[in-house]
């Protein structure tokens, strides 16, 4: 089955890659119209998925749920993608060799991309939009809990493509919930790229077992380090936003590191503000007496991506200890420092190895929509081929083009 899907996707993608920018934008415009037309059908499918997945943990149920407002935001993201410049055919700079041969690197599509994701059906809108605009085909494998919602969305994509004069095979969904198809995708020879979006278990399985190219995404053990010269009100606001605004996403903060010189002043106020939001604190021995209601943190707590209203807290001696902690426990996703000391802020930016690093800002900004991409296919935490939120350019590769007039190599 997957071999046939891949063959059909490859054939469709060859035609699609040659299409004009306006044609690809027209397909996205069609998608906006069709999702609006079928909004009730998509939301009904989502309600059925939610009813069938009543045993899901709250964090995953929140990811699964779609609302009219959520769909509207996703369609706004499509408009952003439409308005972005087409990356295809853009060059890295033409050069002419001494023998007169002109060479240039130009951006071309990756080809056919597989996307394995769990309970967030909106991925089937934002990720597919970016992949199509960049000239690619997509094969989707959602979690079984989101299958009905994703099927309703894929039906809109396929209608949008056929209305634009292209093959529906550009966007396909693996409907069979059997896990053997996940394993088959990991070894689907000819698939140009496989992207996993989900929990640590899924991502680690794909990275460890796949024999096709993979981009590792999204496990987010993110930190907020509050330096000794921080604005404490700013620090509280940033931590609250980074933890509470949406605790079930990969860019939410999971640990706060506090400089020992300000711990007695900051931690009681921070704990009070977090407690009012229902956050359970897991504090190290130095922080425990300063944080009412906290439990003693273990090493496992500092390594955990909670995806819930839990937050680890540690007091550190200085910025070097904070950076060492992040190096030990972080997942190279998003890290931030709160400080009014410019030199310390710049040191943090240079020393911390992560896809996104901030001064005086929430980790929640690591997001394709926030970065102006109109969404993302995933947030890459590796260094090749892409890093951070993956927009249009991350879904292309280079082709070297030479133009000569009879040159031969001596």
DSSP string covering 296-336? E--HHHHH----SSEEEEEEESSHHHHHHHHHHH--SSEEE
E runs forming strands in 65-118: 95-96, 102-109, 112-117
122-176 tens-digit pLDDT: 999 999 999 999 999 999 999 999 999 999 999 999 999 999 999 999 999 999 9
Q: Domain 2-217 is of which CATH architecture?
A: 3-Layer(aba) Sandwich (3.40)
DSSP label of 19: S
Q: Give the pLDDT confidence score for residue 114 in this predicted structure.
A: 98
Q: Give the pLDDT confidence score for residue 166 in this predicted structure.
A: 97
Q: Give the pLDDT confidence score for residue 200 in this predicted structure.
A: 86
Give the three-state DSSP class for 103.
Answer: strand
Q: Which of 329, 270, 280 is nearest to 305 (CA)?
A: 329
Q: Give the pLDDT confidence score for residue 56 in this predicted structure.
A: 83
Q: Give the pLDDT confidence score for residue 198 in this predicted structure.
A: 86
Please say whether the dihedral angle defined by the alpha carbons of residues 270, 273, 275 and 280, taken in this order, is positive or negative. negative
Q: What contacts 24+ positions apart, CB below 8 Å, involve 265-268?
A: 265/232, 266/226, 266/230, 266/232, 266/235, 266/236, 267/291, 267/313, 267/315, 268/292
Q: Give the pLDDT confidence score for residue 59 in this predicted structure.
A: 75
Q: Where are the domains of the chain?
A: 2-217, 222-365
DSSP label of 389: E
Q: How far is CA 323 from CA 15, 35, 98, 177, 340, in A?
A: 49, 45, 49, 42, 17
Q: Give the pLDDT confidence score for residue 69 in this predicted structure.
A: 97
- Report the C-alpha gap between 154 and 148 in whole angstroms: 10
* CB-neighbour burial class of residue 410 (10 A; exposed 0-12, middle 13-18, buried 19+): exposed
E runs forming strands in 37-192: 95-96, 102-109, 112-117, 137-141, 171-173
For domain 222-365, give the CATH number: 3.40.309.10
Residues of the chain with pLDDT under 70: none
Q: Which residues pair with 325 in a beta bridge?
A: none
Q: What residue has token string 């190279």?
A: 332
Structure tokens at 195: 């992207």
Q: Give the pLDDT confidence score for residue 244 in this predicted structure.
A: 97
Alpha helices, DSSP H, located in 164-248: 180-186, 200-209, 232-244
* CB-neighbour burial class of residue 1 (10 A; exposed 0-12, middle 13-18, buried 19+): exposed
Q: Give the pLDDT confidence score for residue 183 in this predicted structure.
A: 94
Q: How far is CA 235 from CA 127, 164, 213, 265, 278, in A?
A: 33, 50, 40, 12, 18
Q: Give the pLDDT confidence score for residue 55 in this predicted structure.
A: 86
294-352 tens-digit pLDDT: 999 999 999 999 999 999 999 999 999 999 999 999 999 999 999 999 999 999 999 99
């Amino acid at each position: 089955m997957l071999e046939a899907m891949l063959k059909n996707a490859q054939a469709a993608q060859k035609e699609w890659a040659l299409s004009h920018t306006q044609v690809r934008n027209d397909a996205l415009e069609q998608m906006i119209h069709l999702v609006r037309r079928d909004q009730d059908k998509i939301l009904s499918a989502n309600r059925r998925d939610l009813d069938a997945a009543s045993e899901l943990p709250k964090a995953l149920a929140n990811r699964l749920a779609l609302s009219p407002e959520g769909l509207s935001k996703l369609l706004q993201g499509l408009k952003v993608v439409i308005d972005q410049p087409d990356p295809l055919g853009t060059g890295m700079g033409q050069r002419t060799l001494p023998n007169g041969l002109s060479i240039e690197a130009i951006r071309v599509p990756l080809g056919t991309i597989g996307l394995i994701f769990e309970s967030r059906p909106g991925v089937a809108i934002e990720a597919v939009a970016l992949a199509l605009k960049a000239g690619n085909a997509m094969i989707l494998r959602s979690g079984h809990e989101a299958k009905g919602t994703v099927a309703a969305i894929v039906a809109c994509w396929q209608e949008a493509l056929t209305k634009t004069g292209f093959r529906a095979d550009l966007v396909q969904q693996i409907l069979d919930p059997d896990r053997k198809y996940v394993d088959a995708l990991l070894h689907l020879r000819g698939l140009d790229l496989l992207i996993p979006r989900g929990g640590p278990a899924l991502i680690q399985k794909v990275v460890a077992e796949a024999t096709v190219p993979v981009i590792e995404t999204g496990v987010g053990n993110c930190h907020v380090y509050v330096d000794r010269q921080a604005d404490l009100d700013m620090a509280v606001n940033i931590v609250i936003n980074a933890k509470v605004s949406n605790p079930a996403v990969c860019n939410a903060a999971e640990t706060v590191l506090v400089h020992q010189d300000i711990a007695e002043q900051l931690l009681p106020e921070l704990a009070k503000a977090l407690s009012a939001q229902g956050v359970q604190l897991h504090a190290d021995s130095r922080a425990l007496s300063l944080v009412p209601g906290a439990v003693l943190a273990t090493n496992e707590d500092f390594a955990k991506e909670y995806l819930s209203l839990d937050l680890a807290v540690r007091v550190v001696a200085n910025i070097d200890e904070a950076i060492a902690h992040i190096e030990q426990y972080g997942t190279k996703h998003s890290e931030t420092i709160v400080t009014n000391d410019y030199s310390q802020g710049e040191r943090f930016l240079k020393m911390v190895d992560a896809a996104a690093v901030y001064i005086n800002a929430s980790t929640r900004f690591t997001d394709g929509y926030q970065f102006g991409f109109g969404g993302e296919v995933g947030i890459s935490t590796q260094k090749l081929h892409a890093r951070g939120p993956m927009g249009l350019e991350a879904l292309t590769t280079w082709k070297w083009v030479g133009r000569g007039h009879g040159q031969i190599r001596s």
